[in-house]
Amino acid sequence: MTNRKLLLEHLDVPGIQGIDAYVKHGGYASLKKALQKMSPDEVVEEVKKSGLRGRGGAGFPTGLKWSFLAKPEGIPRYLVCNADESEPGTFKDRYLMEKIPHLLVEGMILSSYALGAKTSYIYIRGEFMYVLEILQNAINEAYAKGYLGKNIFGSGFDHDLVITPGGGAYICGEETALLESLEGKRGNPRIKPPFPAVKGLWASPTVVNNVESIAAVVPIVRDGGDAYASIGIGKSTGTKLVSACGNLERPGVYEIELGLSVEEFIYGDNYCRGIAKGKKLKACVPGGSSVPILPHHLVTKTAAGEQRLMTYESLADGGFQSGSMLGSGGFIVFDEDQCIVRNTWNFTRFYAHESCGQCSPCREGTGWMEKVLHRLETGKGHLRDIDLLADINKKIEGNTICPLGDAAAWPVAAAIRHFRDEFEWHVTHPEEAQIRNYGLIQQPLVA
């Protein structure tokens, strides 16, 4: 399989963080093309044609999302970039912003032109302060060159781009919580409807997109939507940044063409080069901590025996029974020495810590699961606790305001489904479970 790169193409160019090197390698050409030769609707049409799907995790078609934006007269519209990347295992957006900040800036101006937004915002995670400085630098450079501000490229299009840091809360990555936080309020998700496309930031129509989705608009406008759609398989088009981590020989951020086989991605020489230290693959979480875990026999092959590919459809093949999700592209790999119970507890601890506490199933349920899992992990659990966990996460799933509840419930459900014997082992071998944990952190993160 060829390995075309659209986003990280010029990654190795020295000084690509600066505007001069970026422009020299074709930067801001898409913006010029769009502003001088295309109408906003034509840009939206190209994005629709490209089949680009939201890269933040849900995989909703970006063009379709844009077309839902309400356009009432006299009310401003906003584009907000969700750079609050905090999912455990996902670090692709940070990498992109850090290495090629102008790609995001260009994408923001371009997308704002398509949506008719006069002001757009980048909401960046509070822990990424150094990335904020890099981006702010890029924005200043763009203003100096006249790519931002009044009358860009003589087209009469004015645009301002503002970057705002969050306070480092995972929940502010949920689009309505992000908007609340951006408005200066407590980051609690809003109750939908109304959706942000109708009533978003400051009660105005708003589109919230992931960093990678916005960056992908640049090559789409440059090459045309059809060219982008020709990459990939079926409804999974284009390229995707995947942040591979865990027990891999060569972890890191890779830009892959959707449709690459999972086997090639894990073992291929161009990619992760197999499991570290020659160990065996035990399990894999293919799309960030909130997607179901896959046991080794379901990672490279689906339950039906077909080859599993890095596409939205193939990874979801078999539903939650034997599949998972592409999610945000946080590819976490576990070798044979890793404890699934410990990992599940770790993920749940994260969600219990990050739940906003607004709706009861998530507030109480995540904390409860964390406590039960902690007991199981330290050898103080009972066999009935496993069924209890399965029941708790069934009561959380789908009953919450925002998807954080689902995100907390799915990994637990999948871990119990595929690794029940390991949970039982922790109950039946409490001493061994405790000895194995010797020296590791025993107390929950949230005191």
Partner 1 sequence: MVKVTIDGVEVSVEPGTTILNAARQIGGDVVPPAMCYYSKLPGTGGKCRTCLVEVAAGSAADPRPMPKLVASCSTPVQDGMVVNNKSSQRVHDNRGGVVEFLLANHPLDCPICDQAGECHLQDLGYEHGSAKTRYEEDRRIFEPIDIGNKIKLHMNRCILCYRCVYVANQLTDKRVHGVLHRGEHAEISTYIEQAVDNDFSGNMIDVCPVGALTDRTFRFKSRVWFLKPMEAERSCSKCCGKAVVWMFGNEIYRVTARKDQFGEVEEIEQKTAWLCNDCRFEKKEVTDWNVLGPRVINRQSVISQGKYATTIDKPVKRIS
Helix (H) and strand (E) counts for the chain? Answer: 18, 12
List 83, 217, 221, 372, residue binding partner 1 (CB under 8 A): 372
Residue 198 binds to partner 1 (criterion: CB under 8 A):
no
Q: Which of 358, 377, 412, 426 binds partner 1 (CB under 8 A)?
A: 358
Q: Indicate whether 435 belongs to the interface with partner 1 (CB under 8 A).
A: no
Position among 395, 417, 422, 430 found at the interface with partner 1 (CB under 8 A): 395
Q: Name which position in 279, 353, 417, 436 contacts partner 1 (CB under 8 A).
A: 353
Number of residues that bind partner 1 (CB under 8 A): 32
Q: By C-alpha distance, which of 77, 86, 91 is closest to 123?
A: 86
The least distance separating partner 1 from the CB of residue 380, rounded to whole angstroms, comes to 10
Stretch of residues binding partner 1 (CB under 8 A), selected from 2-10, 203-211, 321-329, 370-378: 370-378
Among 286, 365, 379, 411, binds partner 1 (CB under 8 A): 365
Interaction of residue 173 with partner 1, rule CB under 8 A: no
Judged by beta carbon, residue 126 or residue 224, the one nearer partner 1 is 126
Question: Can you tell me the distance from the alpha carbon of 128 to that of 139, in angstroms, rounded to the nearest whole number?
Answer: 16
Q: Distance of alpha carbon 134 from its chain centroid, rounded?
A: 21
Shortest spacing between CB 169 and partner 1, in angstroms: 7
Provide the mask over 309-348, with x wherever binding to partner 1 is found by CB under 8 A and - wherever it is not.
Answer: ----------------------------------------
Q: How many Å apart are CA 228 and CA 219, to the nearest integer? A: 8
Residue 389 CB, nearest distance to partner 1 (Å)? 11
Provide CB contacts within 8 A for 296, sequence distance 6+: 280, 281, 282, 283, 284
Q: What is the dihedral of CA 289, 294, 296, 298, to 10 degrees?
A: -150
Q: Give yes or no for residue 366 binding partner 1 (CB under 8 A).
A: yes
Torsions phi, psi for 68 (to 5 deg): -80, -15
Handedness of CA 236, 8, 136, 18 (dihedral sign): negative
- In angstroms, rounded to a whole number, what is the distance separating the alpha carbons of residues 196 and 67? 13
Q: Where are the beta strands (DSSP E) in 318-389?
A: 330-335
Amino acid symbol at 163:
I
Q: Which of 173, 238, 329, 361 binds partner 1 (CB under 8 A)?
A: 361
Nearer Cβ to partner 1 (4/185) = 185
Does residue 424 belong to the site contacting partner 1 (CB under 8 A)?
Answer: no
Q: Could you say whether residue 186 binds partner 1 (CB under 8 A)?
A: yes
Rank residues 213 and 348 by Cβ distance to partner 1 and give the closer one. Answer: 348
Tokens of 93: 């957006």
Radius of gyration of the chain (CA): 22
Closest by CA position to 230, among listed 259, 209, 262: 259
Per CB under 8 A, the list member of 352, 386, 416, 427 interacting with partner 1 is: 352
386 near partner 1, judged by CB under 8 A: no
246 binds partner 1 (CB under 8 A): no
Q: How far is the CB of 298 from partner 1 (least distance, A)?
A: 25
For residue 401, which of 171, 210, 125, 200 has the smallest C-alpha distance? Answer: 171
DSSP structure class, residue 188: P
Q: Cα–Cα distance between 326 and 340 in angstroms, integer?
A: 20
Per rule CB under 8 A, is residue 377 in the interface with partner 1? no
Tokens of 297: 């026999």
Tokens for 165, please give them.
């840091």
Which residues fall within 8 angstroms of residue 14, CB to CB, at 6 or more apart? 21
Residues 45, 375: Cα–Cα separation, whole Å: 53
Q: Does 1 bind partner 1 (CB under 8 A)?
A: no
Taking the complex as a whole, the smallest distance from the CB of residue 226 to partner 1 amounts, in Å, to 32
Using CB under 8 A, which of 363, 417, 425, 436 touches partner 1? 363
Single residue of 180, 255, 335, 354 touching partner 1 by CB under 8 A: 354
200 binding partner 1? (CB under 8 A): no
Residue among 229, 388, 390, 422 that touches partner 1 (CB under 8 A): 388
Binding site for partner 1 (CB under 8 A): 169, 171, 186, 191, 193, 352-361, 363-368, 371-372, 375, 388, 394-395, 398-401, 446
